[in-house]
Copies of this chain bind each other. A is one copy, B any other.
Amino acid sequence: MTTSKPDATVLRTFAPERHDHRRCVSTALSKADAACTASGLRLTPLRRRVLELVWGSHTPVKAYDLLAILGRERHQAAPPTVYRALDFLQEAGLVHRLASMNAFVGCGEPGGTHAGQFLICSGCGTVAELAEPGLSKTIAASAERLGFEVVRETIEIEGVCADCRRSKPRTGRGAASTAAK
């Protein structure tokens, strides 16, 4: 889902308990329409549908899952169909590919192309997208010292989101032995 007021650096936050996800989707599609119109890109029915499917899932979507769905809807769909659409959406800055899990998520702040920074919950699979300038700065500084010029950042942090921590509290919670650290 998208943040209502851009929470400092959070472009896309974890899904809250209950929310009308259809609104997330339609908002994303509207933004996409606007962005493509603005930059003269063609958000064709196929591409739009793929974007809708990507947003439709709350968790990252696999290319072959999309393929299966498209195969049912249209009566033809081969891998290139979905991969081409995804390539377009990535280049348009509308979706991101998560290298660590070969899957795709809708971008929480489309428009300008940007490398994303992601928090991926291994419990529920949801993803938050950050834009933490401090992070890029720290990276750039480290790189600088080695004379390395940064072109693209892949930052994917796996862990457990707040909801999942609440529902499955770790053993030793509170002041027990294995808790700290």
- Tell me if A176 counts as interface (CB < 8 A to partner B): no
Docked CA distance A128–B152 (Å)? 15
With beta carbons under 8 angstroms apart, the residue of B9, B100, B132, B162 that contacts A148 is B162
Give, as a whole number of angstroms, the nearest-CB distance from A143 to chain B: 6
Contact with B along A18-56 (1 / 0, CB 8 A): 000000000000000000000000000000000000000
> Contacts A99-B100, A134-B138, A135-B139 hold; do A146 and B162 have CB atoms under 8 A apart?
yes
Give, as a whole number of angstroms, the nearest-CB distance from A14 to chain B: 7
Structural contact, A152 and B162, CB atoms closer than 8 A? no
- Tell me if A147 counts as interface (CB < 8 A to partner B): yes
User: What are 10 A-B pairs at a CB distance below 8 A?
Assistant: A9-B142, A14-B146, A128-B146, A134-B138, A139-B155, A143-B157, A149-B159, A149-B160, A151-B158, A155-B155
